[in-house]
């Protein structure tokens, strides 16, 4: 830490505050490449900044008391440290304390990095507050970036390398970056939204509402291409015979070389479903190998029951299971409680069925990117199913 000069500190401060110039950005990037310790120092500062900023603005805390407590502990730590320093060094340390503003979070970071990590003042289990209605991208070091669907930005890793670009509701990763080890990002899509991502190998993935996907920033030559899914996604896999593509979805693996298929693997659902549109896929349990699994042909749905762990297959109309990409909701012989569950995800609305006899009644219906009011009106007009809205909650009678 003693080797970090004020200029580098200013570069990091400007980066955190998003006020860094192009020249400063390249300076910071060069500094990060000089030594692996520089990279770790940078990562540590980002983590500390998040935690300090959270304490500053937390509604449940007394802001002044919390900040004074931090400064008091910091001052005590520094005074202990300077007892072994020369008097000139002591003067330099002590003079820093009185001028610290409680809103100067970044300045505190560069004084307290060692203190906070050695004393674990914030606690290792504290988590950053993430907005539940925003699409987020989590990087390999744990930092989280909110994705603005109306904007565009370049994705930069901890070494300052541009690894991808986000434009609107699509995220595209570069294929020309060099990675010797697997480094993972996690994209999370909340209820009421959808998003698209192109992985470094050219594979396109459409993510449905309430979905998270963990994937490598760059696939490594000689290793399988593996991603981890919770929720629902449609995959258009770039063909690569030497590198099979595997989707890991809660006790189920779906392995392909290059094809199009849909995987629905929501934690709360009883089954994990794979619907093959084109090509061929093998689906197998964690306890199995691909040779022991079940092969699907186009137009076939494979279902893994999470309780029995049995896999069953049947021929289906694939449009019913893939129309969500265009905002559609297609239902075929589905219990009403499952329809409501899909509507909650699709529209990010809380829906309560007050008539329990209605839950297991099955229905058929098609909706092409229509507002929720139209869908509720359809069930009202066609099946005399009443509803009312109170405090932004929909009650089905």
Average pLDDT, the chain: 81
Q: How many CB atoms lie within 10 A of CB 380?
A: 14
Angle, alpha carbons 23-29-31 (nearest 5°): 105
CB-count burial class (<10 Å; 0-12, 13-18, 19+) for 240:
middle
Average pLDDT of 215-227?
93
Query: Could you give the CA distance from residue 234 to residue 207 in angstroms, rounded to a whole number?
Result: 7
Other CB atoms within 10 A of residue 49 CB: 20
Flag whether the pTM goes above 0.95. Answer: no
CA–CA separation, 372 vs 387, rounded Å? 12
CA distance 160 to 27: 10
Q: Which residue has the higher pLDDT, 299 or 151?
A: 299
| pLDDT(77) > 90 | no
- Residue 77 and residue 75: Cα distance in Å, rounded? 5
If pLDDT is split at 50, 70 and 90, which confidence band does 119 have?
very low
Query: Crossing angle of helices 336-347/372-383, nearest 10°?
Result: 160
- Which pLDDT value is given to residue 79? 47
Three-state DSSP class for residue 132: coil
Query: Model confidence over 240-257: pLDDT tens digits?
Result: 999 999 999 988 999 998
pLDDT of residue 57: 45
Higher pLDDT residue, 77 or 249?
249
- Report the C-alpha gap between 211 and 193 in whole angstroms: 10
| CA-based nearest residue to 385, from 367, 363, 366 | 363
The share of the chain scoring above pLDDT 70, in percent, equals 76
Average pLDDT for 278-298? 93
Least confident range of 137-146, 208-217, 273-282: 137-146
19 or 378, higher pLDDT: 378
pLDDT at residue number 169: 94
Long-range contact pairs involving 55-58 (C-beta distance under 8 Å, separation at least 24): 55/122, 56/102, 56/103, 56/105
Question: How many residues in total does the chain contain?
Answer: 397
pLDDT tens column, 137-175 = 999 888 898 999 988 888 887 778 888 999 999 999 998
- Report, in angstroms and rounded to the nearest whole number, the Rg of the chain calculated over CA atoms: 26
pLDDT, residue 3, reads 52
Exposed / middle / buried, residue 375 (Cβ in 10 Å: 0-12, 13-18, 19+)? middle
Q: Do 137 and 186 form a contact (C-beta atoms < 8 A)? A: yes
pLDDT at 343 over 80: yes
The confidence score (pLDDT) of residue 161 equals 83
pLDDT > 90 in the chain, percent: 54
Q: Are 90 and 82 in contact (CB under 8 A)?
A: yes
**What pLDDT score does 52 carry?**
55
């Amino acid at each position: 830490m003693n080797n970090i000069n004020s200029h580098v500190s200013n570069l990091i401060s400007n980066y955190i505050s998003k006020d860094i110039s192009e020249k400063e950005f390249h300076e910071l990037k060069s500094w990060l490449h000089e030594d692996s310790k520089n990279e770790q120092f940078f990562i540590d500062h980002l983590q500390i900044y998040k935690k300090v900023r959270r304490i500053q603005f937390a509604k449940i805390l007394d802001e002044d008391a919390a900040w004074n407590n931090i400064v008091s502990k910091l001052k005590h730590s520094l005074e202990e440290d300077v007892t072994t320093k020369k008097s000139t060094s002591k003067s330099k340390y002590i003079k820093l304390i009185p001028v610290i503003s409680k809103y100067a979070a970044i300045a505190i970071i560069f004084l307290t990095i060692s203190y906070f990590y050695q004393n674990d003042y914030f606690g290792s289990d504290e988590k950053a507050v993430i907005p539940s209605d925003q699409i987020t991208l989590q990087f390999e070091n744990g930092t989280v970036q909110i994705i603005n669907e109306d904007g565009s930005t370049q994705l930069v890793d901890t070494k300052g390398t541009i690894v991808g670009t986000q434009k609107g509701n699509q995220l595209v990763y570069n294929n020309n970056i060099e990675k010797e080890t697997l480094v993972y990002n996690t994209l999370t899509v909340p209820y009421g939204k959808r998003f698209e991502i192109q992985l470094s190998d050219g594979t396109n993935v459409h993510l449905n509402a309430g979905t998270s996907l963990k994937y490598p920033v760059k696939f490594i030559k000689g290793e399988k291409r593996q991603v981890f899914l919770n929720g629902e996604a449609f995959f258009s896999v770039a063909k690569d015979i030497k590198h099979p593509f595997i989707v890991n979805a809660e006790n189920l693996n779906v392995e392909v070389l290059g094809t199009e298929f849909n995987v629905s693997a929501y934690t709360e659902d009883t089954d994990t479903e794979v619907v093959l549109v084109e090509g061929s896929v093998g689906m197998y349990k964690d306890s199995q190998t691909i040779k022991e699994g079940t092969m699907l042909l186009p137009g076939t749905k494979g279902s893994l029951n999470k309780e029995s762990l049995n896999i069953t297959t049947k021929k289906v109309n694939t449009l019913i299971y893939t129309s969500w990409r265009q905002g559609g909701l297609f239902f075929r012989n589905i219990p009403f409680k499952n329809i409501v569950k899909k509507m909650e995800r699709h529209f990010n609305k809380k829906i309560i069925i007050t008539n329990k006899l209605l839950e297991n009644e099955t229905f058929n219906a098609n909706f092409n990117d229509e507002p929720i009011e139209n869908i509720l009106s359809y069930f009202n007009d066609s099946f005399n199913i009443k509803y009312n809205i109170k405090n932004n909650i929909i009650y089905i009678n």
